[in-house]
Amino acid sequence: MMDLTAAFDTDAILARLKAVLENGRYINGPEVQELEQKVSDYLGVEYAVGLNSGTDALVIGLRAAGIEEGDEVITTPFTFFATAEAIHHCKAKPIYVDIDPNTFNLDMDLVEKALTPRTKAIICVHMFGNACDMAHLEQICQKHSIKLIEDCAQSFSGTYHGKKLGSFGDVGALSFFPSKNLGSIGDAGMIVTNSHDIYTSAKMLRSHGSLKKYHNETIGYNSRLDTIQAAFLLEKIIKIDEAFTRRNEIAALYSEILAGNKGIHTPKPVQGHGHSFHQYTLRVEGGRRDGLKEWLATKLCDSMIYYPIPLHKLPIYQNSDMGPLPISERICSEVLSLPIWPEMSNETVEKVAELVQDYFRRS
C-alpha cells in the first residue's frame, strides 16, 4: 500500500537522531517543544501538546474539553474504532450518525437531529483526508454550546477553504502513526487547540495529572511524545506540502485513468477543500469489490478495505440497539483503497489502474 522507506533523507534523519543520543534528553527533550511549535505554526493554532499516540490525543482531547461520564458525543460509524474507544474511555456514550456516501463524512442533515440535552461534543473525522463541512459543524456547535473535536488522524496538511484542518475545533487530534501523512517511526500523536485552558489541562493529563513534578492534581496518563519520534518528525515535516501536492497528483492520475468505468466511483474532492489523500478510495458497486481485491492480489498488487465493518456493527455492540445506519453499512461493502504514497511513480500508478481496468474488462 505504501513504501515507508522512501519517505525521508536517511543522512538527515541520522543526524537528528544522533543529536538526541548525544544530548541525553530522551523524555521531553528540546525536539518535542520544537515540533510542537512547528506544528502549531503550520496549522495556525496557538498551542500544541505532543502525546504518545493519536488515540491518546482523542482521549486526552476529550477530557481536556470537559467530556465526562454520562455525556453523549456524536460521531461517525465509518472510521477506525479508536475514535469511539476514546469516547468510552471518558465513560461517555458515542452516538453514531450516518454518512454522506460521496464524501464518507458525517451527513450534515442528520447531525443536528441527533442532538439531545446530554450531547456535549461532536467528533468529526476528515475521512481519508477529505474535509468535513466545518462551517456547518461550527454553526451547530456554537448554537448548542457543545465542543467540536476534529479527528485529523488522516488529514494532516488538508484544508477547508484555505484554512488547515485541525484549526477549526476546540481540539484537533493528530496521529503520527508511520503510515499517516506525517508519519513517525513508531506511535506518536498530538493535540492542537486555541484554548489555553484545554492546553494546560492536556499538558497535565499527559504527565500523570501534574504540571509540576510530584504535585499531581488529577488522574492522568503517561503519554509523552518520545523525543526520538519528535526528532524524526522534524525532518519529515519539512516536505509535508510537497507530499500533499504529490498525493493530489497521484489521485488525479488514478481518477483520469479510471474515469468511465461503470460500477466504480472515484473520489471527488469538494470544491474549496484541500483533500490530503491519506487514502485513495474507490466505491465498487454490484458486489464486485471483493472480487477486485482478490484479482489485484493475484497480480501482487496490494489493496485495503477501510473499513469492513461500521462501528455500530462491531462485536462490542452486539447487545445494543444501535443502528440501522444503512449508508455506512452499504459503503463498508463497497470501499477499496488503492496504493498511494508521495514517492510513488506515475508508472506504478498507471500499472495499478490498468489492473483495475483489466478486472472490469474480464468481468
Domain 4-238, CATH: 3.40.640.10
Q: What is the pLDDT of residues 262-287, one digit of tens each?
A: 889 999 888 888 999 999 999 999 99
Asked whether the predicted pLDDT for residue 363 surpasses 90, the reply is no
How many C-beta neighbours within 10 Å does residue 250 have? 24
Q: How far apart are CA 301 and CA 150, in angstroms?
A: 33
Query: HSE-up of 304 (CA within 13 Å, CB side)?
Result: 10
339 DSSP 8-state letter: P
Percentage, residues of the chain above pLDDT 90? 93
Q: Compute CA distances 135 → 79, 122, 132, 140, 169, whole Å.
A: 21, 14, 9, 9, 11
50 within 8 A of 230, measured Cβ to Cβ: yes
Complete DSSP assignment for 35-90: HHHHHHHHHT-SEEEEES-HHHHHHHHHHHTT--TT-EEEE-SSS-THHHHHHHHT
Segments making up each domain of the chain, as ranges: 4-238, 240-362
Judge whether 234 and 41 are in contact, CB under 8 Å. Answer: no
pLDDT digit string, tens, across residues 323-358: 799 999 999 999 999 999 999 999 999 999 999 999
Whole-number pLDDT of residue 319: 83
**Distance from C-alpha of 203 to C-alpha of 228, rounded to nearest angstrom:** 19
Residue holding cell 472510521? 79
CATH, domain range 240-362: 3.90.1150.10
Q: What is the pLDDT of residue 9?
A: 85
357: left (phi over 0), alpha (psi -120 to 50) or beta: alpha
Closest CA to 37 of 21, 48, 50, 52: 48
Please provide the size of the chain in residues: 363
User: Which residues have a Cβ under 8 Å from the Cβ of 148 and sit 6 or more positions away?
Assistant: 121, 122, 124, 137, 138, 141, 168, 169, 170, 171
Crossing angle of helices 10-23/227-236, nearest 10°? 150
Residue type for position 75:
T
Tell me if 259 sits within 8 A of 175, measured CB to CB.
no
Q: Could you tell me which residue, 261 or 298, shows the higher pLDDT? A: 298
**What is the tens place of the pLDDT at every residue in 200-227?**
999 999 999 999 999 999 999 999 999 9
- Whether the per-residue pLDDT at 7 is higher than 80: the answer is no
Q: What is the pLDDT of residues 73-129, one digit of tens each?
A: 999 999 999 999 999 999 999 999 999 999 999 999 999 999 999 999 999 999 999
Predicted pLDDT at 216: 97
HSE, CB side, 13 Å, CA atoms: give it for residue 1.
Answer: 15
**For range 276-303, the mean pLDDT:** 97
pLDDT at 163: 97
| 196 has a pLDDT exceeding 80 | yes
Amino acid at 173: A
User: For residue 199, which amino acid is it?
Assistant: Y
Confidence of residue 199 (pLDDT cuts 50, 70, 90): very high
Does residue 62 come out as left (phi exceeding 0), alpha (psi in the -120 to 50 range) or beta?
alpha
Contacts of 48 (CB under 8 A, 6+ apart): 35, 36, 37, 39, 40, 190, 191, 192, 193
Q: Please tell me the distance from the alpha carbon of residue 246 to that of residue 356, in angstroms, as a whole number.
A: 21
